[in-house]
Amino acid sequence: MLDIKYIRQNPEKVKEALENRGATADLDKFLKLDEERRNLLFEVEKLKSQRNQESEEIARKKKMGEPADEQIARMKEVSQKIKEMDERISQTEAELQNLLLTIPNIPDDSVPIGKCDRDNAEVRRWREPTKFDFTPKPHWEIGADLDILDFERAGKITGSRFAVYKGAGARLERALVNFMLDLHTEKHGYKEIFPPFIVNRDSMTGTGQLPKFEEDAFKLYNNTDYFLIPTAEVPVTNLHRNEILPKEALPIYYVAYSGCFRAEAGSAGRDTRGLIRQHQFNKVELVKFTDQESSMEELEKLTADAEEVLKLLELPYRVVVLCTGDLGFSSAKTYDIEVWMPSYNRYVEISSCSNFKDYQARRAKIQYRPEKGAKPMYVHTLNGSGLAVGRTTAAILENYQQADGSVVIPEVLRKYMGGMSKISV
């Protein structure tokens, strides 16, 4: 969430940011409520001050054995008034808080202004799209032909948008998880976290999934406040919720494997075939906590760390910077890494690397002390997929398919596959 004081002092800037995003939020109402709240606070605090003072007097009088009945009666009235005002204040604050939680982050100045994904700007490209001298198959056909992916039986045991991985397919998925975790922990210096896949409402609110996007999340009904995580970003970022970190602790780099669960409300009919859009998928997630100065630089590094996975797997990709209209709710700047997907005949998002600046940190109260004795400041949080595993499996199947229907295993994965170099029937 944004700093209330910032909104109060720069309403035009916030308005402009909202417009660039194509988002709506009732700023005027917000400002009105904010002023109302301050006026009420000022009044009630005067009363409370009076009550505190006179209560002390009453205590003194009682000790001396003097009568204080009259004063007690008067304070009774004051207390009643305070109670009423406190109620109004907490109502106003709740309204204010609700509004505040629905105002998205302000895009960084370096983010291009645009309406939708067509206005995203390509930043760089690595390798050319894969060329075939035969007609390539989509990965769901490859998976079925090799008997390593089974969407029909997944439909039977659960429903649509689920997959069963079998044999070498299951092994490939697991190999990718291990490969990515090893790369990021051993080479890039991230600390491995294995988080809960279920979180509470505070955590979902802290990273910005709630309250606005509740319909996208799977909710557990035997405990009304538990949710399946849509990404490891949620538990890992919330690791330090309500904490003040020492300056020396920063930057913190975490990498976490997790299952991810998404209701995919509103995407009915999109990417219905294959592994691209599932209710459950695997992801290795990179999360950083940094100070305020270095977060932009850290975003570049984080994106490069994610890109390296694709480079080592030798999968063609490009990097785009999301425009203001396509930017995620909590993000100030996002790079999408898109892998070449032959069945789509275009690049498909496989990682999204974002700098949230202090937006999540303010929601989740994650702070650091710049110097000993100094006032705590909000950290900057960043995260990015490193990578989405299901989509990586799909990309490997499609880009590495051979004319005979087999799939070559990328060199770096072979040691994770028991030396297997090819999947064939």
Partner RNA sequence: GGAGAGAUGGCCGAGUAGGUCGAAGGCGGUCGCCUGCUAAGCGACUAUACGGACUAAAAUCCGUAUCGAGGGUUCGAAUCCCUCUCUCUCCGCCA
- Helix 389-399 and helix 295-313: axis angle, to 10°? 40
Nearer to RNA, 48 or 212 (CB): 48
Q: CB–CB of 177/257 below 8 Å?
A: yes
- 8 as an active site residue: the answer is no
In the complex with RNA, the residue whose CB is nearer, 75 or 423, is: 75
C-alpha to C-alpha distances, 200 to 128, 224, 232, 343, nearest whole angstrom:
44, 9, 13, 38
> In this structure, are residues 350 and 388 in contact, taking their beta carbons and an 8 Å threshold?
yes
**Cβ contacts of residue 1 below 8 Å, gap of 6+?**
100, 101, 103, 359, 362, 363
Minimum gap (Å) between residue 61 Cβ and RNA: 9
The Cα–Cα gap between 179 and 75 comes to 69
Q: Least distance from C-beta 205 to RNA, angstroms?
A: 14
Enumerate long-range contacts of 90-97, CB under 8 Å, 24 or more apart.
92/33, 92/36, 92/37, 92/40, 93/37, 95/33, 96/4, 96/30, 96/33, 96/34, 96/37
The smaller minimum CB distance to RNA, of residues 53 and 158, is found at 53
Rounded CA-CA distance 205/101 in Å is 8
Say which of 352, 354, 362, 385 is annotated catalytic. Answer: 352
CA 386/CA 393 separation, integer angstroms: 13
Closest to RNA by CB, 90 or 424: 90
User: Of 61 and 212, which CB lies nearer to RNA in the complex structure?
Assistant: 61
Q: Least distance from C-beta 70 to RNA, angstroms?
A: 11
Q: Which among 21, 37, 363, 391 is annotated as catalytic?
A: 391
Residues that bind RNA (CB under 7 A): 4-5, 38, 41-42, 45-46, 48-49, 51-56, 58-59, 62, 72, 75-76, 78-79, 90, 372-373, 375-376
Residue (48 or 241) nearer to RNA, CB: 48
Q: Is there a catalytic annotation at residue 349?
A: yes
The CB-of-3 to RNA minimum distance in angstroms stands at 7
Residue in the block written with tokens 């949710």:
227
CB 48 within 8 A of CB 114: no
Active site residue 391: yes
Task: Name the catalytic one among 127, 277, 318, 369.
Answer: 277
From 262, 298, 330, 351, the catalytic residue: 262
Shortest distance (Å) from residue 38 CB to RNA: 4
C-alpha to C-alpha distance for 241 and 286, rounded to whole angstroms: 17
Catalytic pick among 43, 54, 349, 369: 349
How many whole angstroms separate alpha carbon 155 and alpha carbon 150?
9
Instruction: Count CB-CB contacts under 10 A for residue 78.
Output: 15
Smallest separation (angstroms) from RNA to the CB of 68: 7
Q: Which helix (H) or strand (E) holds 276?
A: none
Catalytically active residues, by annotation: 262, 277, 349, 352, 391
